[in-house]
Structure 1
Amino acid sequence: MQHYRDELLKIGTVFQREEIDFLELSSAINAYKQIIYGLTNIDIHSDASRQDIHSSNGKAIGTTWAAMCLEDILRTKKFINGVFKAIEKLKRDGKKTIHILYAGTGPFATLLLPVLAQYSSEELKTTLIEINTESFTFMKALIEQLGFDEHVLAYKNEDATKLKIENPETIDIVLSETLQRGLVVEQQVPITINLLKQIPQPILLIPESLALDVCWMNYNVFMNRSIETNEESYCLPIKRLIEINKNSHENLIFDFNNSNVQILAQEKIELSSNKQQPDYNHLALITRIKVFEDEEILMNESGLTLPIFLKMPEEANNAQILTISYKIDEIPGYTLEYS
């Protein structure tokens, strides 16, 4: 399997480059796909692979959908590069052996394979968590085939929102990318809160920050934008609804034993707040992703950061205030109420 490890090392080198060459990135993604699909023989079209797992605090997506996340090129590149940067930061700080807790690995442990190819098992250890049994089975077999099992301290086929961490003081990096734009449906928020409340600080979190901003949008400028168009020319931020970072387990009140709807954040917005700029006549929810330090996924760079245009009230409604909330229940996400 040394050939595959060498290929993963080359792929990791491409992901670490600061300049973005989409042709090179596409080629690296295709090479990555050939390795992992070739070794796992996943049938992404089977009914079993498409089955999601539902719980009281969100959904864990099926093997098929988890596998397809690799296709989001900048998402994959920036997350993997963020992991590399976090490791190098710890190494510069004198850390000899680094322990990554990776929650929601999917069938490939996509964000970690090129990283494992670069570091020895003395330099890097990992705990791998995946709730979906099919995805877990594929992931574990893939790690073993590639000879990366020497890096693995533990495999956990468990729910990361309920997991009790063994030896939490040994963990240096918490990595979880179980999200969609708007932080809807999936379990990123409860996973992050559960893991961080058990791990003593300091800790590095990837993504380092996730936030939802409400903005007034100039829809015409947005729809006719070019690559050079600055976000400031069509998006006016109003309020930050919620931010998830390494302090969220202290700042957000969430009861894991409560299966009812829990409101984690709420903001009120005056619908007349854009009256000085009438061309900004659409409200949108923007997902902000700071992967690690200067590694960010900007608006429109990924399916994760496309704006969500919010439904506006009918003119005859005479609504003056929008109350937007972020909730956790079986279908996490935002709610809107006009008054």
Structure 2
Amino acid sequence: MKKSNEPSQTWGEKRQLSSVDPSLERLFNQSLRSQLTRQLKGDAFASSSVLIKHCCSVVETLLAKTQTHEQLVAVFADFSESLLELYQELALPEEEVTHSYVNATGLVMAVKDAVSTVNDIYRVKAFIRGLDKVLSKVEGQSQEPLHLVYPACGPFAPLVLPLLCYVNAHTRYQRPLKITLIDIQPGAKKVLERTVESLGLDTDNIEILCMDVMEYKPSVPIDILVIEAMQHGLSKEGHMSFMRHLATFLADDAYLLPNEIVVEALLTVPQREFVDQWKEQERSHSSFINEQIRAERISLGTIFTLNITTLKQLAIMPLGDGFDLIEANQVTIPHNVEDMSKRILLLSAKLFVDDEEVIDQYDSGITHPLADMSVCIDFKPKASEPDDLLVKGGDKLKFYYKLCGMPGFLPTLA
């Protein structure tokens, strides 16, 4: 049963809001069907040279000073199709493709779902550009190998491997790299090994590990940590647990990508935020946010900031049985808001990959605002749930982050 402040028609009932361009989704499905047909007929798949060509085209477009969305879609379509052919050619057993589960730190995605993340254009763009700037910055400082670690990287490691392929083809940097790719899924490891080989990369300098990130203990410090293991609102996956674990292995001058994650709490009318705002749009992006609807939001402020400095200062509250809470910030619910009973609490994460590359609201699936329907402001739900939190104007909300198999923020009355 719906709570009284839910919209009469949710976005999900109309269509699924996505930051992925719909043409890429259609091409993805078309490519899968085509490759299945070719596999059944025993036809040959695309060569390594074709994959490298498409990969270099993607990176060249991403690194350009300006590019249109249409240009990005075009190059990503070719690259994605080549990667999917590689994935299909492996013919992984069903259990290695479809198996997803929840472990002690959060959701482990099925390989079949993880392969599509390469089409999250603006997430890939921000990380590739940010990593390119880091590698340019450290060039010439030393000839010692840089240790780059990418945990929970998925089957294609899309935030790192495309740039490595481009660098290899264009000899952009001379400083050697030691790469460690980590994923817990056996199927992902098999795809990664084939991808690295097909991209023409030096396998002697790339270590691919199939293991829980929480068990990884590098023999040398981590110079560059590329990590994105979360869903919207910094929820569901093990990003925070991974960060806490890997922090002890960071070099003193390590680079963290993203450099900072900021989570904001805001109040909004869901009908306006999720339905009215996107009626005329085929996809989501921060540039499409309706300014009038943005102005209707009530910002409660930042509830959490994650960077190298705050990572070392986290206030941990152990609750036993491996369940910990991280203390976050406190906000105040405003008084005398006329339509408050119609509003819901949203948690919105924004990723600063570096000072210039930002993944903003709605740019990616990981930055879609997350609705917390447990917080009921100035109304009592007709069908209450055990975790409902009844709040009124003037109350203070204190947030904690749950480190467990269902990670995410827990609002409480202060």
Q: TM-score range by the shorter chain?
A: 0.7 to 0.9
TM-score, normalised to structure 2, is 0.72
Match of 1:57 in 2: 105
* Mapped pair 1:214 → 2:250: no
Percent identity between matched residues is 19
Residues 118 and 310 from structure 1, CA distance in 2 versus in 1: closer, same or farther, beyond 3 angstroms? same
1:322 aligns with 2:375: no
* 1:112 lines up with 2:196 in the alignment: no
- Structure 1 window deviating more from structure 2 (258-267 vs 178-187): it is 258-267
1:207-242 deviation line (CA, Å, top 9, x unaligned): 111121112336676444883744862444323222
When the two structures are aligned, how many residues end up with a matched partner? Answer: 336
Q: Does 1:136 align with 2:189?
A: yes
Aligned to 1:275: 336
The unaligned stretches of length 5 or more in structure 1 are: none
Residues 104-163 of structure 1, C-alpha deviations (whole Å, 9 max, x = no match): 121112122221122248543311111111111111122123321346342221211221
- Secondary structure of 2:216's counterpart equals coil
Q: Is residue 2:276 matched to residue 1:227?
A: no
Distance 1:310 1:256 in 2: 24
Aligned partners of 2:96 and 2:185 also within 8 Å = no
1:123-272 maps to which residues of 2 (within 5 A)? 123=175, 124-150=177-203, 152-168=205-221, 171-217=222-268, 222=273, 223-224=276-277, 227=288, 229-230=290-291, 233-253=295-315, 259-271=321-333
> Displacement, 1:285?
0.8
SS of residue in 1 equivalent to 2:362: coil
Letter in 2 for 1:294: E
Q: In the alignment, is residue 75 of structure 1 matched against residue 136 of structure 2?
A: no
Q: Is the Cα–Cα contact under 8 Å of residues 268 and 298 in structure 2 kept in the other structure?
A: yes
Letter in 2 for 1:176: I
Tell me the SS of whatever aligns to 1:203.
strand
Q: SS of the residue aligned with 2:312?
A: helix
Paired residue for 1:23?
70
Look up the match of 1:298. Answer: 360
Matches of 2:391 and 2:306, distance apart in 1? 34
Q: Is the 8 A contact 1:210 1:244 kept in 2?
A: yes
Q: 1:269 to 1:33 in 2, by over 3 A?
A: same
Residue 59 of structure 2 is matched in structure 1 by 12
SS at match of 1:138: helix
CA RMSD of aligned residues (A): 3.1
Letter paired with 2:241: P
- 3-state SS of 1:37 partner: helix
Q: In 2 relative to 1, CA 45–15 (structure 1 residues): closer, same or farther, beyond 3 Å?
A: farther
Secondary structure of 2:250's counterpart equals coil
1:258 and 1:217, CA in 2 relative to 1: closer, same or farther beyond 3 A? same
1:332 lines up with 2:407 in the alignment: yes
CA gap of 1:23–1:151, structure 2 versus 1, over 3 A, is farther
Structure 1 residue 276: deviation in Å?
A: 6.6
Q: What's the counterpart of residue 32 of structure 1?
A: 79
Match of 1:285?
347
Give the structure 2 partner of residue 308 of structure 1.
Answer: 370
Query: C-alpha offsets along residues 158-202 of structure 1, whole Å, 9 cap, x if unaligned?
Result: 21122111111xx32101111101111101111122112112211
Question: What displacement does 1:265 show?
Answer: 2.1
Higher CA-based Rg: 2
